[in-house]
Chains A and B, each alone.
Chain A
Amino acid sequence: MAKWANRISFSLCILLLILLVACAPKTRISENYHNPDVDFSLLQTIAVMPFANLTSDQMAGERVRNTFINSLFSTGALYVIPAGEVARGISRAGIDNPWSPSAEDAAKLAAIVGADSVITGAVTEYGEVRSGATTANVISVSMQMIEKESRKVIWSASSTRGGISIWDRLFGGGGEPMQDVTQAAVNDIIKKLFY
C-alpha cells in the first residue's frame, strides 16, 4: 500500500513540475516598435526611400514601395514626398547606399526634401513558396522610420503575409495573387504605424 502511495505522490510531483514550467512567463517579441517619447501627430511630411530588395525578384522593392506610398497617401494622414523628388534629394545629398542609409544621411535627405522623417525598408521575401505539390505567394517586409531632428529610429515594424494555408494544402488553388498579398502586408504595416 505504501509502495502505491509513493508512486502516486511521485507522479503528482512530476505533473506539478510540468504545470509549473507551463506557467512560466512567455517572452513576447513584438513586430512593432514605437518610440514612446515621440508625438507622431507632429509628423506631417515623410520621404520614403527605395526599399532594399533581398529577394530574387528584381522588381520586388519597387513594387512594394509603390504600393506602400500610395496606400499611405490615400490615408490622408501624412503627406508623402513624390518619389522623383526623393530621387533628386538622394542625388543631391550624395547618398551612396539609399537602401540602408545612415542616420546622418537620412537627416540630410529629410532636410533637402523638406520631410519630417524618412522611412526605409527591406523586402526579405517576395514570390512563390512551394511545399510538396502546393504553391502560394508570400511576402515579408520590414520598415523603419528615422526622425530628422533626433536622427533616431522612432518606429519600426515588419509583416509577413501569404504562404501556404491548410486550405491550400487540402484543395490547392495556388494561394492569393501577389498583389493582394502585398497589399495585405502593406495594410498591416500602416496599421502598425497608426495604432
Chain B
Amino acid sequence: MNTLETLQDILIGEFSLTRERVAPDAELAALGVDSLDLLELMFKIEDRYKLAIRDDVPHDLTTVADVVRFIDRLVAAQPQAPGPGGADRHAAT
C-alpha cells in the first residue's frame, strides 16, 4: 500500500469520509481536518512508518497530497528502512 492509500484509509476511518472525498487535491479544511486533528493524525502516521515527527509538522500542509509528500520526505530521510526506530519511545502505546 502506498503512502496515499495509507493516508486515505486513515482519513476515511477517523473522519467518517468516503474514498471519493479524500482525493489527493482535497483540502484538509474542507474534509473537516483542522490543524489539531492533523497533529493527532500524525500519531497514526508515526506508528505506520516508524517515525517521530510531532514537532516537525509544517503549517502549510493544506491538501491530502501535501501530507503525502511530507510523509514521503520524512521516510526518505530516515537513516534506514522502516524498522525499529524513532517510534520506539512510544512502544507502550
Q: Do A and B come from one complex?
A: no
Q: Which residues of B contact A (CB under 8 A)?
A: none
Q: Which residues of A contact B (CB under 8 A)?
A: none
